[in-house]
Amino acid sequence: MEEISDREILDRFANVKTRNDAFNVLVRQYQQRLYWHIRKMVLDHDDADDILQNTFIKAFKALDNFREDSKIYTWLYKISTNECITFLNNKKKRFFVPMVDVEYQLSQNLETDTYFNGDRIQMKLQQALLTLPDKQRLVFNMKYFDDLKYEEISEILGTSVGALKASYHHAVKKIEEFIKQI
């Protein structure tokens, strides 16, 4: 599918007659990349689908006010990231359980997930990621899997590049330690 420029999507969205078409283009253009970003954070397919849907609902409501300070994808990525963080925080609060128990539950879900088709090493990497604090896991996912530059991550998370580099470094060290214990 040929990507349509941000400008064209915004122009179509501004016109009431082509608004729905523009939004459908936006969804088709970005849903897969956003889904996998979300999925890496929450691991569960159904939760990822729900968060993706919430992301697009928020985007639809706010697209008229999009300031074009960034690309649409960066803006959507930020919305989905915030939705992931909110979801994970709510999950911790809702069940009144320590984070270790939430990590264990997510790990168990990953092992029985029919959508996960990775090998043993990928499973261990995902389990290692679950041991990281949310912020470190998010930074690691964005840098390692999504191959974003620190400047892009900084724009999305509103954190300094130096702090992001430190978070990534700590995440890598913790993952290495986890995998050595196998």
Q: What is the pLDDT of residues 17-40, one digit of tens each?
A: 999 999 999 999 999 999 999 998
Residue 110 lies in a domain: no
Asked if residue 99 has pLDDT above 50, the reply is no
Tens digits of residue pLDDT in 100-112:
454 555 555 545 5
Going by C-beta distance under 8 Å and a sequence separation of 6 or more, which residues neighbour residue 84? 38, 41, 42, 51, 138
Q: Are residues 90 and 132 in the same domain?
A: no
Q: Are residues 52 and 139 in the same domain?
A: no
Q: Are residues 2 and 91 in the same domain?
A: yes
What is the CATH number for 162? 1.10.10.10
Mean pLDDT of the chain: 85
Going by C-beta distance under 8 Å and a sequence separation of 6 or more, which residues neighbour residue 99? 92
Return the pLDDT at 69: 86
Q: Are residues 86 and 125 in the same domain?
A: no
Q: Are residues 73 and 157 in the same domain?
A: no
Q: Are residues 92 and 174 in the same domain?
A: no
pLDDT bin (cut points 50, 70, 90) of residue 180 is confident
Question: φ, ψ for residue 146 (rounded to 5)?
Answer: -90, -10
Return the pLDDT at 18: 96
Tens digits of residue pLDDT in 129-160:
888 888 899 999 999 888 899 999 998 888 99
Q: Are residues 153 and 89 in the same domain?
A: no
Closest-CA residue to 174 (of 96, 166, 85):
166
Q: How many domains does the chain have?
A: 2
Asked if residue 97 has pLDDT above 80, the reply is no
Distance (Å, whole) CA 113 – CA 105: 12
Return the pLDDT at 95: 59
What would the mean pLDDT of 80-94 be, rounded to a whole number?
A: 86
User: pLDDT exceeding 70 applies to what percent of the chain?
Assistant: 84
Q: Are residues 91 and 143 in the same domain?
A: no
Q: Are residues 3 and 88 in the same domain?
A: yes
Tens digits of residue pLDDT in 121-137:
677 777 888 888 888 99
Q: Are residues 83 and 2 in the same domain?
A: yes
Element (DSSP H or E) covering residue 88: helix 72-95
What would the mean pLDDT of 56-85 be, rounded to a whole number?
A: 93
Distance (Å, whole) CA 125 – CA 130: 9
Q: Are residues 167 and 89 in the same domain?
A: no
What is the CATH number for 34? 1.10.1740.10
* Confidence (pTM): 0.78
Expressed as residue numbers, the domain containing 88 is 1-96
User: Residue 3: how many CB atoms within 10 A of its CB?
Assistant: 12
Q: Are residues 161 and 73 in the same domain?
A: no
Please name the residue that has the structure tokens 């911790």.
Answer: 92
Closest-CA residue to 167 (of 125, 145, 134):
134
> How does DSSP classify residue 115?
T
Return the pLDDT at 100: 47
